């Protein structure tokens, strides 16, 4: 599977889990706890393969200042979600309204980030890299993701 297909599949998986989490109520503590752990695992694996493999390849292939800006913006969005919002959510009582609010913020952050990648970064990556490069990146990313999950 090529790199972009793998990342889009990850986006679809995480979006579905975040949507399910957002629909839970404060009484669904078991469901919230289980979903949150799955989301954490998926997000951590996804951001790791992007940061270790895909983003450096994108940055190296980049030709314009806009490519560099896209790279750094994507890294900052990972930092916001992975270092700030997700850790706060993990420390929040799953039966609280505060959890609901933080889960919604994480969902919105992830959706915004995935949308930007799919509409801007991925088409640009297809223009910068050939099919063989994207396949090779996809294989490396799949192998690394298997190690992480």
Q: Which two tokens stand for residue 15?
A: 């979006």
What tokens appear for 74 in the block? 């994507």
Six-digit token string for 51: 């940061």
The predicted-structure confidence for 99-131, as pLDDT tens digits, reads as follows 999 999 999 999 999 999 999 999 999 999 999
pTM score: 0.94
pLDDT in tens, 6-59: 999 999 999 999 999 999 999 999 999 999 999 999 999 999 999 999 999 999
């Amino acid at each position: 599977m090529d790199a972009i297909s793998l990342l889009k599949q990850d986006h679809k998986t995480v979006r579905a889990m975040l949507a399910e989490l957002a629909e839970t109520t404060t009484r669904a503590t078991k469901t919230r706890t289980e979903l949150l752990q799955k989301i954490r695992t998926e997000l951590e694996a996804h951001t790791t393969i992007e940061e270790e493999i895909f983003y450096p390849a994108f940055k190296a292939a980049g030709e314009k200042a806009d490519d560099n800006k896209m790279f750094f913006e994507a890294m900052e969005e990972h930092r916001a979600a992975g270092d700030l919002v997700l850790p706060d959510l993990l420390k929040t009582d799953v039966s609280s309204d505060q959890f609901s609010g933080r889960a919604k913020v994480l969902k919105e952050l992830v959706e915004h980030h995935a949308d930007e990648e799919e509409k801007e970064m991925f088409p640009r990556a297809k223009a910068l890299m050939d099919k063989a490069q994207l396949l090779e990146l996809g294989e490396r990313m799949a192998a690394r993701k298997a190690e992480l999950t």
